[in-house]
């Protein structure tokens, strides 16, 4: 299929005729802003055999691409608005793949109310896809990595480790494996959580867990110039993952907290807001679990310490996925 036919048939419908897209009939897209707003932008690139396999199919690849990019916006507390798509095709790209790919994008953009406003389409032997996402926030009001304070509690949303297990054990046919795989391919960007934390002034500091709980918490520590202490037995693990750990003793909970791909939010909360976080958890119907605390750090050492149930310090070799 020729480039322009492809854009017309599979990508133009995803613009929902929104003004910013200029109907994909121009060289540029155009986003209008109000005076007190800021544009919040993030980009992700997915490469064949690194971030996805062709065998995953267009639906899963596109869903995950857009969901993980939305998760970056979630960590800032911004509201999603539009996105642009870098699309590659090769001799294996057939109509089935295109149909599934655009269906994957549509399912996510419908759920999170955003639309496609442009992109680029090229030919390349190895496939890669890229999304640049645009969100809106009130001027000067976003969640940042460098805003944690000494004494703040460390909270995490949802559960940790499901996606890691879903990725490692994709051939198992247990029901719990299915749940874990879903968490791997269809992570839930915590957009509402990010927005509510800002709106209710419950946090000014968050990050999304893409590389691993410890590795990403380390980023907050470095940016905020703090240390963090977390308790391994406080880390929220889903029932499916727990079942898995019981049956597969070679996998440890420390593998889950460095596995990555969770797309949950880690955020800092002043202890006086603890009750309000519990109320927010209830209203969002989402677990928000305190796993530790930010501490003053010695000079130049801004890292995470991990403790077991007996309060003994644990050392782990790998803190997260490295690119």
Name the site residues for ligand ADP (rule: CB under 6 A): 7, 11, 24, 26-27, 85, 87, 116, 118-121
With CB under 5 to 8 Å by kind, the binding choice for 291 among ligand ADP, Mg ion, none is none
Q: Nearest approach, Cβ of 70 to ligand ADP (angstroms)? A: 17
Distance between CA 44 and CA 58 in Å, rounded?
A: 17
Q: Which of the choices Mg ion, ligand ADP, none does residue 215 contact, using the CB cut-off of 5 to 8 A by kind? A: none
Closer to Mg ion by CB, 87 or 164: give it: 87
The verdict on 308 binding Mg ion (CB under 5 A) reads no
Q: How far apart are CA 261 and CA 254, in angstroms?
A: 15
80 binding partner (options Mg ion, ligand ADP, none; Cβ < 5 to 8 Å by kind): none
User: What's the order of all strands across the beta sheet hosting 265-269?
Assistant: 206-208, 265-269, 153-157, 288-295, 227-231, 304-307, 313-314
Which of 82, 145 has the CB closer to ligand ADP?
82
Name the helix (H) or strand (E) containing 192. helix 191-199
For every residue of 250-308, DSSP letters joined together read TS-HHHHTTT----PEEEEE-GGGHHHHHHHHHHHT--EEEEEEEE---TT---EEEE-
Question: Which CB, 7 or 202, lies closer to ligand ADP?
Answer: 7
Residue (36 or 120) nearer to Mg ion, CB: 120
**Minimum separation from the CB atom of position 16 to Mg ion (A):** 21
**According to CB under 5 A, which residues from 88 to 127 bind Mg ion?**
120
Minimum distance from CB of 243 to ligand ADP (Å)?
Answer: 41
Exposed e or buried b per residue across 175-210, where buried means at least 16 C-beta atoms within 10 angstroms of its C-beta: ebbebbbebbbbbbbbbbbbbbbbeeebbbbbbbbb
Nearest-CA neighbor of 115 among 208, 3, 23? Answer: 23
Q: Dihedral angle at the C-alpha atoms of 213, 214, 219, 221, nearest 10 degrees? A: 120
Q: Which partner in ligand ADP, Mg ion, none is near 206 (CB below 5 to 8 A by kind)?
A: none
Q: How many residues bind Mg ion (CB under 5 A)?
A: 1
DSSP-based three-state secondary structure for 136: strand
Nearest residue to Mg ion, by Cβ distance, number only: 120
CB of 145 to ligand ADP, least distance (A): 30
> Whose Cβ is closer to ligand ADP: residue 11's or residue 294's?
11
Say which entry of ligand ADP, Mg ion, none residue 24 contacts (CB below 5 to 8 A, set by partner kind): ligand ADP
Which residues lie near Mg ion (CB under 5 A)? 120
């Amino acid at each position: 299929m020729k480039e322009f036919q492809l854009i017309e048939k599979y990508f133009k419908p995803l613009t929902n005729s929104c003004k910013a897209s200029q109907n994909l009939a121009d060289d540029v897209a155009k986003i209008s802003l109000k005076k007190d707003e800021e544009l919040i932008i993030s980009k992700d690139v997915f490469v064949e055999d690194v971030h996805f396999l062709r065998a995953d199919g267009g639906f899963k690849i596109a869903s995950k691409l857009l969901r993980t990019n939305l998760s970056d916006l979630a960590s800032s507390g911004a509201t999603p608005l539009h996105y642009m798509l870098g699309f590659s095709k090769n001799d294996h790209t057939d109509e089935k793949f295109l149909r599934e790919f655009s269906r994957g994008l549509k399912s996510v953009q419908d759920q999170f109310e955003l639309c496609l406003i442009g992109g680029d389409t090229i030919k390349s032997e190895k496939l890669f896809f890229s999304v640049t996402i645009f969100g809106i926030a009130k001027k000067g009001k976003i969640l940042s990595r460098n805003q944690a304070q000494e004494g703040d509690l460390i909270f995490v949303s949802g559960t940790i480790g499901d996606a890691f297990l879903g990725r490692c054990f994709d051939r198992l046919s247990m029901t719990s494996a299915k749940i874990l795989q879903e968490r791997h391919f269809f992570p839930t960007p915590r957009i509402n959580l990010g927005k509510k934390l800002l709106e209710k002034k419950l946090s000014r500091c968050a990050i999304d867990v893409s590389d691993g709980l410890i590795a990403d918490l380390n980023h907050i520590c470095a940016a905020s110039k703090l240390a963090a202490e977390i308790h391994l037995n406080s880390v929220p693990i889903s029932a499916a993952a727990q079942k898995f750990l019981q049956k597969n003793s070679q996998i440890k909970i420390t593998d889950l907290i460095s596995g990555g791909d969770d797309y949950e939010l880690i955020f800092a909360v002043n202890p006086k807001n603890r009750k309000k976080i519990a109320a927010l958890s209830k209203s969002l119907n989402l677990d928000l679990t305190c796993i530790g605390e930010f501490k003053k750090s010695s000079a130049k050492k801004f890292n995470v310490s991990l403790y077991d149930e007996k309060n003994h310090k644990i050392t782990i070799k790998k803190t997260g996925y490295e690119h």
